Chains A and B, each alone.
Chain A
Amino acid sequence: MNAAAQPGQRVTTPARMSIARLTWINVSKDLRLEWRSRDVFNSMMFFALVVVVVFSFSFEREDSRPVMGGLIWVAFLFSTTMALNQSWARELRNGVLDAYRVSPAPAEALFLGKCLGNFILVMLLECLMAPLFVVFYNLSSAGPLWQLLLIAVLGTWALVVNGTFFAAMSIRTRNRELMLPLLLLPISIPAVLSMVTGTSQVLSGEGTPAVQLQFLAGFCVIFTTACFLLFDTVLNAE
């Protein structure tokens, strides 16, 4: 981005970086910041842990498999919402969004970078939380594990891509942090439904989640496209 920061000079083609490189810069910046402060990750992790513990008190433990899909995804959904709010709040505090608006770098790179950063963070959280679910609910999967993994990857991407977009939208409103769940949850209901159904199916070993996986893949494609097409508009909305 240093190439773009020369004042009074219109950036010509040679100085422009490819979207892939800009995206990588954004991702590595986000991850580096997170690695140094661990603000978001720690609070997200602790929140998910508390949710798991509260759920384990609230629900009967005998044969929890049919409801496990719901519990897992509700815990992840809420912690994801928490992380997403923070990811843009940091940029707003430091005026990064204004800087990005005046720079010639395409907004899509910023969006993709944020998405990937959040995706890595949430996937990491899921990997760390999975053993906790196993311990607290004495869980074992009756179906093949790779199906669970596939659902987790597609589902997390569906949550993160919409969440990143709507977090960018909600920080533009008056009641910033409050707005995100209000916008994100209704939009993600179809995805959450199929994630929950699919996960429960695999865990209880009743049928294969083929329909759910197709649905999730379609959902990811449609909404990723929509996010890319509209992000520039939302970033520059005045």
Chain B
Amino acid sequence: MKTKLFFAFAAFCCLFLAFGTYQGLVVAPTEETMGDVQRIFYVHVPAATVGFTLFFVNFLASIYYLWKRSARADALAATTAEIGIVFCTVVLITGPIWARYAWGVWWSPRDMRLNTTLMLWLLYVSYMILRRSSTGGSTSVLAAALAVFAFLDVPIVYMSNRWFRMSHPAPMIGTPRLDPRMQTVLFINMLAFLCFGALIAWFRYEMERTAQKIDAAHIQKAAGGAAAMLLLPAAFFMAPGHVAPISYLWGGYLAAWGIYVSYLLFLMGKLARLKKEAAELAA
């Protein structure tokens, strides 16, 4: 790992994220109808941007793998799918929290946008399951083929906002309907989270390469995210009728950062395990 460069980038990401979060929580103007709760916007939308970007990289890497059979492309594909799931999980958790306040329901099953995002999450989880359960050398090829199929659904997800009537708002970025100050803050946050995504991807990619090299690729899906999804139903039943609006905002931010931090902790644990294994092999 190019350690110095990595840590410099990590420090930059931390500062950038702190700046973006400050902008989102303090500087950005308060929305008229939803009040402060609307600030979930600045974690919800950037997470979606990063998630879709990572899935796109996964698609490109899979195509490249099918073409050239390069182990690096395979590592990149595995990495981006896993981190994409984490970001997608954030979208799927902050979304319902926001929706509960704005629409009065956690989930609107008739809404194509929600369904397709959930479907994308399911697709990439099934991708990770396939990676884990296929045998020997066929893993990479089968996974790459599945990745191509999964990505064919992304345009459907993307266009669903325009094709079908529903409660999820159509994208407003770059339109006069979105306050220009909000737009600036959103872009800052998008950039910050893209850097953050790139940072984790870099870290995870180096790990994946190490794992490939010592031939001990215990590939695991984003267990933290899945566990968080399982805990969620409990929260739904406990939620009382009247909750202070601001707690939706804190809930959204806590959920998003809880997922990011637990994923990072998960990666640390994995790195420690890999290092130990590498040391054992070297001895």
Closest to A225 in B: B152
Which residues of B from 256 to 270 have beta carbons under 8 Å from A?
none
Are B142 and A187 closer than 8 Å at their CB atoms? no
Q: How far is the CB of A150 from chain B (nearest CB, A)?
A: 20
Contacting residues, chain B, for A187 (C-beta < 8 A): 123, 149-150, 153
Q: Which of B126, B129, B148 makes the CB contact (< 8 A) with A226?
A: B148
CB-nearest residue of chain A relative to B140?
A237
**In whole angstroms, what is the CA distance A169 to B116 when docked?**
23
Contacts of A175 in B (CB 8 A): 133
Among candidates A165, A174, A222, A223, residue contacting B134 with C-beta atoms closer than 8 Å? A174
From B116, B129, B146, B149, name the one whose CB has the most chain A CB atoms within 10 angstroms: B149
Which of these, A222, A226, A234, contacts B142 with CB under 8 Å? A234
Indicate whether A230 reaches chain B with its CB closer than 8 angstroms. yes
* CB proximity to B under 8 Å, residues A110-146: none
Which of A189, A222, A234, A238 contacts B145 (CB under 8 A)?
A: A234
- Specify the chain B residue showing the minimal Cβ separation from A229: B148
| Inter-chain contacts of B149 with A (CB < 8 A) | 162, 165, 187, 223, 226, 230
Known contacts being A169-B142, A169-B145, is A226 close to B135, with CB within 8 Å?
no
* Pairwise interchain contact A179-B163, C-beta atoms closer than 8 A: no
A237: chain B residues within 8 A (beta carbon): 137-138, 141-142, 145
Q: Contacts A182-B126, A186-B126, A230-B148 given: A172-B142 contact, CB under 8 Å? A: yes
A184 CB, min distance to chain B CBs, angstroms: 9
Cross-chain contact A172 with B138 (CB below 8 angstroms): yes
Which A153-190 residues have C-beta < 8 A from chain B? 162, 165, 169, 172-175, 179, 182-183, 185-187, 189-190
**Chain B residues within an 8 Å CB radius of A58:** none
CB nearest to A174 among chain B residues: B133
State whether B146 touches A172 (Cβ < 8 A). Answer: no
How many chain A residues have a CB neighbour from B under 8 Å?
26
> Does chain A have a CB within 8 A of B115?
yes
Of listed A169, A185, A223, residue having the most chain B CB within 10 A = A169
A11 at the interface (CB under 8 A from B): no
A174-B133, A234-B145 as given contacts; A189 in contact with B122, CB under 8 Å = yes
B255 within 8 A of A: no
A234 touches B150 (CB 8 A): no
Tell me the complex Cα distance, A162–B153, Å.
13
Given A189-B115, A226-B149, A226-B152, is A233 in contact with B66 using a C-beta cutoff of 8 Å? Answer: yes
How far apart sit A220 and B181, CA to CA, in the bound complex (Å)? 44
How long is the Cα–Cα vector from A49 to B161 in the complex, in angstroms? 38
Q: Could you tell me if A234 and B141 are in contact, using CB atoms closer than 8 angstroms?
A: yes
CA distance A238 to B135 in the complex (A): 9
Residue on B nearest A181 in the bound complex, by CB? B126
> Is A40 part of the binding interface, using a Cβ–Cβ cutoff of 8 Å?
no
**Who on chain B is nearest to A230 by CB?**
B145
Pull 20 A–B residue pairs with CB atoms less than 8 Å apart, ordered by A: A172-B134, A172-B135, A173-B134, A173-B142, A179-B129, A182-B126, A183-B130, A186-B122, A186-B123, A187-B149, A193-B115, A211-B163, A226-B149, A226-B152, A230-B148, A233-B66, A234-B141, A237-B145, A238-B136, A238-B141
Given A189-B119, A233-B141, 9 additional A-B pairs, CB 8 A: A172-B135, A173-B134, A182-B126, A185-B122, A187-B149, A234-B141, A237-B138, A237-B142, A238-B141
